[in-house]
Amino acid sequence: MHTASTGKLMFALWGPDHSALRDGALHAALAQAGVRRLQLNLDDADVAPALRIPTGEPIGAVVSLWTDGPASTAGLLDATAARVAGWRVDEHRRLDPPEVADGVRADALANVAVLRKPADLETAEWLRRWMVEHTPVAIRTQATFGYVQNVVTEPVTADAPYVSAFVEELFPSAALSDVHAFYGSGGDDAELGRRVQTLMASVARIGADRDLDLVPSSRYTYGLGSER
């Protein structure tokens, strides 16, 4: 398992302006503040057919920043959404998503799941179940070709709600409307049922069968600053 370097911040945005998030002026301001890389996961029209699971008002975007600067960089996002909440995370890349050119939409359905540890599980046990036991099950039972785990280490905005982790999973674009494409079951209904049953049993062991936000998204990445 590869663990990326520190310095990654992730933000949930409610009521976002997707055009403002993709605007070059914002990107220049982020670069000036020390952001080296930007990733936008936007719940936009391109993923309209996909399943959504909100715990309250739906999250409309997830923004990731790799930065050498302070967490106060978050303030630059305030004008792009009705509400912004952020966290510092430790990133673990289990399946590296394919690289695409700056600002080009990845040919994928990118699902971002917002996870919350159940109160009755110790953190170490929850992480073991998720990162050691569940991860290979999730990859084996779905048509996943990108899988990135982000463990929350601390909030970076004052009103950030309780969140334990974010996981991003990339699926073929056909998975937007084809459940067999989502699970990689090749059109076999029996195999589909087996995969769903196996996955859901594993999901329940980490408490992700409840108190979960699932944000379908279009994925965009940008190199900023020295990476441009």
pLDDT tens for each residue of 111-125:
999 999 999 999 999
pLDDT of residue 228: 41
pLDDT of residue 63: 98
Model's pTM, two decimal places? 0.93
- Domain ranges for the chain: 2-225
Model confidence band, residue 100 (pLDDT cutoffs 50, 70, 90): very high
CA 13 vs CA 54, 112, 143, 145, 226: distances in Å: 13, 13, 27, 25, 26
Beta-carbon contacts of 66 under 8 Å, excluding residues fewer than 6 positions away, are: 7, 8, 35, 36, 37, 38
CB–CB of 130/187 below 8 Å? Answer: no
Report the mean per-residue pLDDT for the chain.
93
Q: State the average pLDDT over residues 33-38.
A: 93
Distance from the first to the final alpha carbon of the chain? 27
Q: Say if residue 2's pLDDT is above 90.
A: no
pLDDT of residue 6: 45
Model confidence band, residue 74 (pLDDT cutoffs 50, 70, 90): confident
pLDDT of residue 69: 72
Model confidence band, residue 226 (pLDDT cutoffs 50, 70, 90): low
Residue 190, H or E segment: helix 189-205
Model confidence band, residue 71 (pLDDT cutoffs 50, 70, 90): low
Burial of residue 136 (CB within 10 Å: 0-12, 13-18, 19+) is exposed
Tokens of 211: 């108190």
**2-225 — its CATH code?**
3.30.70.100
% of residues, the chain, pLDDT over 70: 95
Q: Count CB neighbours of 84 within 10 A.
A: 23
Give the C-alpha separation, 141 to 90, whole Å.
25
pLDDT of residue 1: 33
Dump pLDDT digits (tens) for 158-208: 989 999 999 999 999 999 999 999 999 999 999 999 999 999 999 999 999
Tokens of 67: 């930065």
